[in-house]
Structure 1
């Protein structure tokens, strides 16, 4: 079996939900520092990511039976939202780390759980190599896992590999010789594996979501976890992935909203026709902030509600509980998409021309929201939600809802 090099420092094991939330709040200020500069110059946040993962927060979803805090999904979503508020790229980087941990929980063997959970609690970060370019649909995969004597090998190319450039292991979706999808937890320093920093998106610029190339990369059978079967029966894997995306967008929305409040209070001049001495007294500005605040609070409330549904689905997974969780998460995804884009755009309408100056970096909120919310189309969330409530049709199990 393969081993990865563990970090040369001690990583605390967080005990419970309250501690996880407190630590997220504690480090958010440090992670926010220089976030504008990192975005402008595309400085990859290696030091900030070390602070983030050394806090112990990357291990909070490890079940209590394996030494972790086993926090609720309500807490997990709040932690990701808080980090994304500080820096949305840092909020997104561990998304697939937690996703891989859920696949491991649902489909991993006892030995795999013992070993890989222990690595995570020691500070090992998981990236991802799931999506590919050039396939017929976003869910098609051409990367293959084949047998070479006693050795398994991977060949293929991945893109949108968020977190891979920062990871010690890269969970990789591969089709085996029977065409069944597996998830291989590949050590990042494996021979023939190359991570390429070719992500050029105009938003989420420091996620490192570029390419990973596999050229006859060896992988131990002990590091291969069943993947496809997680979507052939009701499991919480799909909604778990999606609630993290909703949390990222909610964090972006909160950051844009808070920056709009601060700018209007401190810099924006009142419009001459308002008859007010301060922009913060303009009645039309007040109406707009009220509209934003309501939708932001609704997004945060739906995110928490989705976490509660997901907790129930994890505790007792069946067709009904997983469908209900998927729909609750889809509702959170829909509204977080809309409010993140609205807050990022309305900010400029309310703050005025000064807000467009590059030194303020306020355009990053809309760019980040627009880029991240393209992960999967929100229009299909509404379709699934309407079909569920009107026709009592459960959403697909494939995890895109």
Structure 2
């Protein structure tokens, strides 16, 4: 456990501009190739991707969702999803670090004032990164927030403690979920180097090891009104904010599945021995292996199709918002999340099973795919996706509005 070093967020002062959707995917593919080279070593050594995060945000990809009227590319949700999946295939920890950043940029779109939008969108386009300080430990449920934004004789002051603060370690701004004096939920965008704000690197998850999803502590942090957004308005009227977050989570899981399947292809073609009873001289011709691989490939293509479909529903609900469009987007993203969750876990497990005993050796670090999938997919319970989908199909019920649907 350590206090955050001072140099993790202080370097980015400019970023490239993404021109359009095609340019975004071109940049994402190039970065993914670059990031993949050291991903296994970073995971094994828990070496935080400081330079990679810097390279990632300088590329302009962290500004993909800034609206065009504010100078951003305003890409489609399908492009954002695929760009995220490409990076996740290379290194899912790197792909998860900006996940909350994108969600907090979306919050500006939904509940930011014109002044806040102008200021913070400009920050994003300049390469400044948003972290995350939303969740808390030791509270009765996920919606309970003990962090307080209080009006004092010295102005607004923020106090509280947050957990699972993905991205905060690398951030320039750390949006903190709090409750104000009137009991209303707010988001407070705090500068990372603000006096009284501490980011602690105490993340010890067995997967997604280099996300640095540690702790944020705020002690009497001074805040201005420009930094405070009305979080209580984030889902009223119904918005796509929750489904937007789910699209990014699904994209990360899709990337993990692709990575595991790519490893499986390599091992079956180049390293694995066939089972003695198979009657073949090469693992890639084992009939039972071929059947399993065929199943996984079909599920991969189905997951990709549902992911693209879900992104289209998000585009429609963003451009023409309304309860029905938001519900359709939420259900479509729940369907995609079911497939990407299950596929990432099964592909990562099948990699070890079909590749054989040699694949379990620590030097290969192939277990990172399952560890990453298992850790990331517990972000929200996929069993409740089945419930939401079934209740909507059978009873016409709209899902509840929060960051997990």
Q: What TM-score results when the alignment is normalised by the length of structure 2?
A: 0.97
Task: State how far apart, in whole Å, the 2-side matches of 1:346 and 1:390 are.
Answer: 34
Matched with 1:396 is: 400
**Secondary structure of 1:160 counterpart:** strand
Stretch deviating more after TM superposition (26-35 or 118-127): 26-35
Matched with 1:141 is: 145
**Secondary structure of 2:178 counterpart:** strand
Task: State how far apart, in whole Å, the 2-side matches of 1:148 and 1:32 are.
Answer: 49
Q: 1:296 aligned to 2:292? A: no
Matched with 2:325 is: 321
Task: State how far apart, in whole Å, the 2-side matches of 1:343 and 1:113 are.
Answer: 41
Matched with 1:226 is: 230
Q: Deviations over 1:113-138 (max 9, x none)?
A: 11100011000000000000011112
Aligned pairs for 1:54-203 within 5 A: 54-149=58-153, 151-203=155-207
- CA drift of 1:149 comes to 2.1
Match 1:44 to one of 37, 42, 48: 48
Structure 1 outlier segments of 4+, above 3 Å: 5-10
Task: State how far apart, in whole Å, the 2-side matches of 1:211 and 1:377 are.
Answer: 23
Matched with 1:307 is: 311
- CA drift of 1:399 comes to 2.8
Task: State how far apart, in whole Å, the 1-side matches of 2:99 and 2:143 are.
Answer: 18
Task: State how far apart, in whole Å, the 2-side matches of 1:10 and 1:387 are.
Answer: 47
Task: State how far apart, in whole Å, the 2-side matches of 1:133 and 1:144 are.
Answer: 15
Q: Deviations over 1:273-296 (max 9, x none)?
A: 111110000000000100110111
- CA drift of 1:8 comes to 5.5
**Secondary structure of 2:234 counterpart:** helix
Query: CA 1:334 to 1:174, structure 2 compared with 1: closer, same or farther past 3 Å?
Result: same
Q: Do the aligned residues in 2 keep the contact of 1:302 with 1:328 (CA within 8 Å)?
A: yes
Task: State how far apart, in whole Å, the 1-side matches of 2:91 and 2:12 are.
Answer: 26
Task: State how far apart, in whole Å, the 2-side matches of 1:320 and 1:8 are.
Answer: 41
**Secondary structure of 1:214 counterpart:** strand
Matched with 2:5 is: none
Q: Do the aligned residues in 1 keep the contact of 2:12 with 2:128 (CA within 8 Å)?
A: no
* Structure 2: segments with no counterpart, 5+ residues: 1-8
Task: State how far apart, in whole Å, the 2-side matches of 1:324 and 1:7 are.
Answer: 41
Aligned-residue CA RMSD (Å): 1.1
